Structure 1
């Protein structure tokens, strides 16, 4: 009987008796391939999954206690997997085909991977459970008094970064306080996403942002001074607190 090319699900044959049996078996296989989870117990040795184990499960969860790196080995059928490294021991786990290099996960990591018919390649990776995102802070300073609509910072991003709502954790100071309120625009690719304001008589700034803002590699972060500059505000220093996305 013929089968589908990737998941090896049997086709219904022409004039087949009890077609519902084949159809129901196919539905079950497809259900598993899209939503099934397989617990893969590891014990310091590679585990080779059978075609049924691999193709009829979407989620592969590594368990057990390890003292050395080992692998979950899947067949070369093209397929998407979600892999959870929940094994104990503090060592890495890989997912690969018999002849491929595959993808390696650190303890606690989660990854979506794709078997392309030859090797397993990474699609998406998440940090280990309970581990905070890595901080990514951007700092700059400006000596003297900023002019009208002056660009204090023009920074191209080289990786994905997210700044939180209200720019929580960010700081701005001035060597000489403002005479009147002065508001600076923080811009993503030219569009304002947050403000930094020095109130009249203040030498520390407050920040405002309606929501978190995500930058991707290639985006431009800039800071622009007010169109009407303050007459005394000068010698600025600031740090924008973000996180690696």
Structure 2
């Protein structure tokens, strides 16, 4: 059980929502929900509100938010613990490898996206630092981009991969415009105005999907999938759909 923010009980097609009350934490705090950003962990560009502006599918942010040349510079200098730096770098390497393309007759792979340390010429980069929760800027835009990671709650590879998908330009899966057929939590966007329709299927197994107890404060489910016995909220690795969506969004050939 986690400590979450209370929400109102509502029924949507595919999901039921309950009114929670406080309960003891089972495994600590879900820091993704405490990042201080939109829906918990998303830092949006100034003046951008996906619930009001027509912008999301699969669920990539709509508009010119892709990182130029598929390169994401980062600054990890504020992460002072060597073990923490290793977890972050391994998460980046996992995302790069999972989205890359095998090269026939070779053990090498063609990268789709590249995370690399920033140089003095990089004007836009992701500053990775400690914080009170997990959060990340969504997509490319001018100004400071950042990722905050609570110690120790955010230092898991799958959690960091989730935040890097935000950096690449992706929202939470359950915010897709077609989500009412699968569930609800807690905002819904609009194809072609706040989110880009990549024509990919709804993915319960996405690393971008919140868990069944998202924003619960009593440990009871706030999201119940329409499909029986379906697990949601995994934080292990990118799903096949996650991988395909990143590759499609960044124009990586098969």
Q: TM-score, normalised by structure 2?
A: 0.22
Q: Report the structure, 1 or 2, having the larger strand content.
A: 1
- Greater helix proportion: 2
Larger radius of gyration: 1
Q: Higher RCO, 1 or 2 (CA under 8 Å, sep at least 6)?
A: 2
